[in-house]
């Protein structure tokens, strides 16, 4: 009897699915997409107005397709079990077209988690391929091909060859460049604050201390503004000898809600904040957890599908969460009915559930031994986020106090707030981290206050003036940039990680202490594109394109008219830019350095080439000296005292392109280490410390191992 064929994307997913389905099925992997638009040419008919694509089988998939074609002929039914989103739907369609699977023989099955129950349910209710989802993915692919193939030659002719532009990546780059422009244009403004160390009059021999802040001058509107030291001194002199009286005490109960279950963007943000995982690393590890891990004798997926913008949670998972919370923490920690979170993201519904554990009862500690360190850390984050999202609010007793001070010429108002955690709620398990601004609804525990009542006299022990300056907006981290892309409706769950990676791979941005800095090349490219392609670089326009793609997926629009509406003005802008745009001078894209050319004595500059950034003489082409760009790590070589630099293994090495750290005096000094050197010396022998993971270190000279010095940890988590 012939076995039914199941086609998925990856071998890991195939192994897990095979275990659940048994011997009546054979599960094989397509290894992702098998067809794509051809390399080296447009592959899209731009003349007819239909935008018909021409697909070609990928060179590395011909052997795989031959095996799948043979298995298809031997099977009674072919189940297309690719991922539950537009991309997965398109892969299934391409498989049907490439293998020539008869329509009557093919069935589409969709599951959002790779567990026995989910797969059994999916195979009991197969469906046909969804043409609307296929059209939406095809429209995105064709649109991105048009933008990339038309815009990139403009950059080759006006900046330098080898550059690329893209519909989403170019707007993401503009966000980084615009933020840098804001920072450079920012002019700090001086202002002062005045705090007061106060005490309540002693009771029973005990004095209660607290600190209040000057808030306002009574009978005037708004908060007081102290622009300079002169004004601060005037107020301090006016308050000399003042008496302080409690004017008002307000007590109320406040609550803090847990964060919603993870969607793709929030998982990437929180994994960066808490674990320092890049978006790409987060998605790679999440893919492993989704496709299946061996837990003893069982191979099963540990989380639901990780490309999603939905905060929905299955009823079964909600019931499990409630059961776990009651058993672990008590009934008072579980709400009477499940929490439901409103979907925050406009548009696409790439999947129908949030990212959650496939079994709440599979807590992180119980499976830790079966996971790698990265898998364990990410699973722990996902598990805690889901369980916490179904716990009761944290409750605080909050007190706000207004204190009057009678100055010589004016009445002043000081304020102080205090909060006492009354009921921890979800905080016993998990709290969401912050970027650069507080998260709405996150109530931090305030200072403890003594018992104060209206009319109480308090003593001012000391007035503390402090100078401040307003700060520019912070540069984007991976977390804050993904958050911004999501808020603006730019891209979709599957695009965030590759977008950020492309910006770095193209040398358009660099990371400095975890934050994106645009290079001169990235700034120049953004300026050129913004001037000649304002629609492409417009955030609102890009978001509207995403909405159009969503409407195609929902069957509300046809994809060819959407592309025609875009391409007509875009094609004209391309022609105009090729004729009118001025070539960008080399000094606008080459970055200055302090290095001097060893041959001619002119300054060396940083250039970007097909193999990355390198040092070149500014006198090129007269002087053709070039050198690899060595990144100094701020640590001396333990053998000769020269600077240690970051290098990449060369072509002859088994670990080609792997980063290592070597002496800048090579080949005279051959010291090298695969682990990153730390600036602090070994506390036992003063030898060279190197990093072990994010938090530990070891000495290369003695057997010392332990946590990294505190200074290094602070720097590493900036």
On the question of a common fold for 139-186+477-580 and 190-257+394-469, the answer reads no
Whether 298 has a pLDDT exceeding 50, the answer reads yes
How many residues are there in the chain? 718
Identified catalytic residue from 79, 149, 272, 305? 305
What per-residue confidence (pLDDT) applies to 717? 27
> Taking residues 694-701, what's their average pLDDT?
83
CB atoms within 10 A of CB 209: 12
Contact 370, 294 (CB under 8 A): yes
The predicted model scores a pTM of 0.82
CA distance 426 to 392: 6
CATH number belonging to the domain at 264-389, selected among 3.40.50.300, 2.60.120.260, 1.10.290.10, 1.10.10.60: 1.10.290.10
pLDDT digits (tens, 9 = 90+) for 328-377: 999 999 999 999 998 655 544 545 799 999 999 999 999 999 999 999 99
pLDDT digits (tens, 9 = 90+) for 602-646: 998 888 776 667 889 988 889 999 887 777 777 888 888 777 888
Q: Domain 4-129: give its CATH architecture.
A: 3-Layer(aba) Sandwich (3.40)
DSSP 549-588: HHHHHTTSS-HHHHHHHHHHHHHHHHHHHHHHPPPPPGGG
Indicate if 324 belongs to the active site: no
Classify the C-alpha dihedral 386-391-393-397 as positive or negative: negative
Q: 200: closest CA among 188, 209, 211?
A: 209
pLDDT digits (tens, 9 = 90+) for 426-444: 999 999 887 764 433 344 5
What per-residue confidence (pLDDT) applies to 132? 96
Q: HEC profile for 242-272?
A: CCEEEEEEEEEEEEECCCCCECHHHHHHHHH
Residue linked to tokens 């600190």: 211
Cβ contacts of residue 474 below 8 Å, gap of 6+?
A: 436, 480, 515
Classify the C-alpha dihedral 77-82-88-91 as positive or negative: negative
Contact 523, 507 (CB under 8 A): no
Q: Where are the alpha helices (DSSP H) in 45-130?
A: 62-74, 86-99, 116-124
CATH code for 190-257+394-469?
2.70.20.10
CA distance 292 to 14: 9
Q: 591: closest CA among 609, 574, 604?
A: 604
Q: 608: closest CA among 105, 182, 164?
A: 164
What per-residue confidence (pLDDT) applies to 158? 94
Kindly state the DSSP code that residue 239 receives in the 8-state scheme: T
What per-residue confidence (pLDDT) applies to 632? 72
Domain spans in the chain, listed from the N-terminal domain onward: 4-129, 139-186+477-580, 190-257+394-469, 264-389, 591-680, 681-718
- CATH topology for 139-186+477-580 is Topoisomerase I; domain 2 (1.10.460)
Structure tokens at 482: 């993904």
């Amino acid at each position: 009897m012939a076995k039914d064929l199941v086609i998925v994307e990856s071998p890991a997913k195939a192994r897990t699915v095979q275990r659940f389905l048994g011997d009546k099925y054979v599960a094989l992997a397509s290894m992702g997409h098998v067809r794509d638009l051809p390399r080296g040419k447009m592959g899209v008919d731009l003349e007819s107005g239909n935008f018909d694509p021409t697909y070609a089988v990928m060179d590395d998939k011909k052997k795989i397709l031959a095996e799948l074609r043979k298995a298809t002929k031997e099977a009674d039914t072919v189940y297309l079990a690719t991922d539950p989103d537009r991309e997965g739907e398109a892969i299934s369609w391409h498989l049907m077209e490439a293998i020539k699977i008869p329509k009557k023989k093919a069935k589409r099955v969709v599951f959002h988690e790779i567990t026995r129950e989910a797969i059994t349910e999916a195979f009991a209710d197969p469906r046909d391929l969804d043409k609307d989802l296929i059209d939406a993915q095809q429209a995105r692919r064709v649109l991105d091909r048009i933008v990339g193939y038309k815009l990139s030659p403009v950059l080759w002719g006006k900046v330098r060859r080898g550059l690329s532009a893209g519909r989403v990546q170019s707007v993401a780059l503009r966000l980084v460049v615009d933020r840098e422009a804001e920072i450079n244009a920012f002019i700090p403004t001086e202002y002062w604050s005045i705090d007061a160390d106060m005490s309540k009059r002693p009771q029973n021999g005990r004095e209660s201390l607290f600190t209040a802040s000057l808030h306002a001058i009574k009978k005037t509107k708004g908060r007081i503004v102290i622009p300079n030291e002169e004004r601060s001194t005037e107020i301090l002199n006016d308050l000399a000898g003042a008496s302080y009286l409690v004017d008002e005490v307000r007590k109320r109960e406040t609550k803090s809600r847990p964060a919603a279950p993870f969607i793709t963007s929030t998982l990437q943000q929180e994994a960066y904040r808490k674990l320092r995982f890049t978006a790409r690393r987060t998605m790679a590890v999440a893919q492993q957890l989704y496709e299946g891990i061996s837990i003893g004798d069982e191979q099963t997926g540990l989380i639901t599908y990780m490309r999603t913008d939905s905060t929905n949670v299955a009823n079964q998972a909600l019931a499990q969460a409630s059961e776990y919370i009651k058993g672990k923490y008590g009934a008072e920690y579980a709400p009477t009915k499940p929490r439901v979170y409103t979907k925050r993201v406009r548009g696409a519904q790439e999947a129908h559930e949030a990212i959650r554990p496939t079994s709440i009862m599979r807590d992180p500690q119980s499976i830790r031994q079966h996971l790698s360190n990265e898998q364990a850390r990410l699973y722990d984050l996902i598990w805690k986020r889901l369980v916490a999202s179904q716990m009761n609010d944290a409750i605080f007793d909050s007190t706000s106090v207004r204190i009057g001070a009678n100055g010589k010429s004016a009445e002043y108002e000081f304020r102080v707030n205090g909060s006492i955690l009354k009921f921890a709620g979800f905080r016993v398990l998990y709290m969401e981290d912050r970027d650069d601004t507080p998260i709405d609804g996150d109530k931090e525990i305030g200072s403890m206050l003594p018992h104060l009542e209206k009319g109480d006299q308090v003593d001012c022990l000391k007035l503390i003036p402090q100078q401040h300056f307003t700060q520019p907006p912070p540069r984007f981290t991976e977390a804050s940039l993904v958050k911004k892309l999501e808020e603006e409706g730019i891209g979709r769950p599957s695009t965030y990680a590759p977008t950020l990676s492309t910006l770095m791979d193209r040398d358009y941005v660099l990371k400095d202490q975890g934050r994106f800095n645009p290079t001169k090349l990235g700034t120049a490219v953004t300026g050129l594109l913004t001037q000649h392609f304002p629609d492409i670089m417009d955030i609102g326009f890009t978001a509207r394109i995403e909405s159009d793609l969503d409407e195609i997926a929902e069957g509300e629009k046809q994809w060819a008219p959407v592309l025609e509406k875009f391409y007509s003005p875009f094609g004209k802008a391309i022609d105009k830019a090729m004729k009118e745009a001025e070539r960008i001078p080399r000094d606008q894209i080459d970055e200055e350095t302090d290095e001097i050319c060893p041959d001619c004595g002119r300054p060396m500059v940083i250039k970007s080439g097909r193999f990355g950034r390198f040092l070149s003489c500014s006198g090129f082409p007269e002087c053709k000296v070039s050198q690899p760009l060595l990144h100094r790590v701020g640590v001396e070589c333990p053998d000769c005292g020269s600077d240690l630099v970051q290098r990449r293994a060369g072509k002859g090495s088994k670990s080609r392109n792997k980063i290592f750290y070597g002496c800048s005096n090579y080949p005279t000094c051959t010291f090298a280490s695969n682990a990153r050197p730390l600036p602090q010396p070994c506390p036992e022998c003063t030898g060279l410390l190197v990093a072990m993971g994010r938090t530990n270190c070891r000495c290369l000279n003695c057997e010392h191992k332990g946590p990294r010095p505190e200074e290094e940890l602070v720097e590493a988590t900036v």
